[in-house]
Amino acid sequence: MTASYSPQIVQSALTDPSRVCTDMGGDAAGIGQTLGITDRARTDTIALQKYVQFFEVSARTLRRPDFGWTVGAEFDLRNLGDFGPFILEAPTLGAALSLFRKSFAMIQSDSEMDLTIDGDAAVLSYRILDLDIWPRQQDAELTLSVFHQLIKSIAGPGWRPSALTFEHGTSAVWRNARTGPHCTILCDAPTNSLRFPARLLDLPMGDAPSQPVGALSQAITREAWARERDAPVAIRVRREVVRRLGRDSLDQTQIANAIGYSRRTLRRRLEAENASFSAILSDCRTRYAEIALHLSNRPLSEISEHLGYSSVSAFERAFKLCTGMTPARYRKQSRAPGTDATCSEACA
């Protein structure tokens, strides 16, 4: 990440996590102070890294591995800045989730929320695009729990998702008898997602007034795009690379077009920031590989394919060039007792 840039989230998103932590007997204020989170106006933002750390520290000190999921079940969407109330006032669940997706960049930066249709199923997905923000298990489970609770409030108390997937390797949410999803949970997945019948998207949003959302949706899209463009070009390229890993082409021209530039203009803009596309791509691949090698048991062939290498040997050569060791050695060393789980500095 560029030294002067830091992913942000609206300060008000910490309201419910702090309350639940306190209700469980935790010292929310003390945790916040330790992390350098200060009291601000509800319209202000805090570093996303600190927000994610608040959940990890709370879960650990409270000995509640389901802390994130529990908070999500009690999360008030009105605490998501100016856009929460609009989400709750949408005419249908589908419209609410669409507004949620489009406004997400104004709630939390350097992240993606997506809603796709796969046959008869709808898939809500979420992940942070900053590979330096780890661990982030509690944040992922919080967000899917927010999705889960929103759908459940419309579909009825007996509803349960078809399946959940998580980026991380293990999860305790299935043990939560009161608010747990009670469905299939798959870990070590490319993203965090919740799958449910697409027909639920047409359900009305309870007693919420039927508000026209067309103009609002367009305005949110324009504002979100403007905020995305406010970030340094190197950050925008990094986001797009991470977004595409294992999913789309990592071609420089396509990525340049995706963020609104020609290949030549992108190169000039990056040079002005003392960056290059090849260095950003290499760094993203290496950091993703470090995380996958340390936190999952995925085979090298699967990681290599996900990162877009032509072969496992090409992946091994590139990884060794950046870290000084082979992927196999890195995996063994990073899991050795007493070693630091933090990813090493990747090559520039």
Read off the pLDDT of residues 109-129 as tens digits, 9 standing for 90 and up.
999 999 999 999 999 999 999
Tell me the sheet residues that pair with 113: 126
CB 166 within 8 A of CB 137: yes
* Mean pLDDT, all residues of the chain: 90
The pLDDT of residue 342 is: 39
Mean pLDDT throughout 231-259? 95
Give how far Cα 138 sits from Cα of 57, 58, 95, 128, Å. 10, 9, 27, 12
Domains of the chain: 8-216 (3.90.1520.10), 232-334 (1.10.10.60)
CB 20 within 8 A of CB 149: no
3-state SS of 54-70? HHHHHHHHHCCCCHHHH
The pLDDT of residue 119 is: 96
Mean pLDDT throughout 40-69? 90
Grouping H, G, I as helix, E, B as strand and the rest as coil, residue 164 is strand
Give the type of residue at 307.
Answer: L
The pLDDT of residue 175 is: 82
Q: How confident is the model at residue 348 (pLDDT cuts 50, 70, 90)?
A: very low
Separation between Cα atoms, residue 196 and residue 143, nearest integer Å? 16
What backbone torsions phi and psi does residue 334 show, to the nearest 5 degrees? -70, -20
Collect all residues with Cβ–Cβ distance below 8 Å to 174 and sequence separation of at least 6.
Answer: 180, 181, 182, 185
Q: How confident is the model at residue 212 (pLDDT cuts 50, 70, 90)?
A: low
Residue 181 has pLDDT above 70, yes or no: yes
The pLDDT of residue 217 is: 72
Give the type of residue at 82.
Answer: D
Mean pLDDT throughout 65-71? 97
